[in-house]
Amino acid sequence: MRLQKYLAHAGVASRRKSERLIEEGRVKINGEIVRSLGTKIERNTDIIEVDGRIVEIEENKIYIKMNKPSEVITSAKDQFNRKTVLDLLSIEERVYPIGRLDYHSRGLLLLTNDGEFANLLMHPKYHVPKTYRVLIAGVPPEGKIEAFENGLMIEGVKTQKAKMVIKNVDQKLNQTLVEITLFEGRNRQIRKMCDRIDHPVIDLKRIAIGTIKLGNLKEGEWSHLRKDEINSIVNLLNNGPTGHSNIGGV
């Protein structure tokens, strides 16, 4: 196996970022710094280190979905000692979140120790849809919904096409519940887009990632993905823009 592929499988970073780590001299094989991207390793005999830490591929693949509460950090640890999503788990295996939900956002979050699966799911070329139930201030007119869906300039870059569907209007409180689907994942993107059309977010909850749905999980609860859920998202990736993703189901 090539070194950069091993690092990606181990969840260190994407293949491209793993290549940068190698070129920067941060990776060792059996105690020796390696800078060649073509280097091949033997998983069962070679010792791989990144920044002095031994890196191993987890043989027991774990796939978890969680209903992340508000005011919980999507991270392994937090410098301010705030609660993280890993604090909600009760498993021995080391896993990490796939993507992020910001501190005040709620809903579906996936976690795994399968680095290749995580990197493919986050890769922009697959355009994996993510669906959110969002409560916004005011009632957006058709023109603003159309602008939202066709793309908005956020921090100098136009967003990809999206979808916004009105689910309920509360005239008394002057609030609207909408369902938003994105095909990219920029930092605080929905909040910034809603601010851009002058209908700021009051509450945000992710309800689906590709074919995986939040379902009946209560806030703070989690469960292992079922085989059919894993296979459904693998099929989605395998049928993406490249035609295949080189990963298999279970």
Q: What is the DSSP letter of 225?
A: P
The span from the CA of 250 to the CA of 232, in Å, is 10
Q: Nearest CA to 8 among 65, 57, 63, 64?
A: 57
Catalytic residue among 102, 195, 198, 228: 102
In Å, how far are 7, 58, 67, 161 from 31, measured between CA atoms? 16, 21, 41, 48
What is the H or E stretch that residue 144 is in?
helix 142-150
The span from the CA of 33 to the CA of 21, in Å, is 11
Phi-psi region of 80 (alpha: psi -120 to 50; beta: other; left: phi over 0): alpha
**Is position 102 annotated as part of the catalytic site?**
yes
The span from the CA of 70 to the CA of 205, in Å, is 9
Instruction: List the catalytic residues.
Output: 102
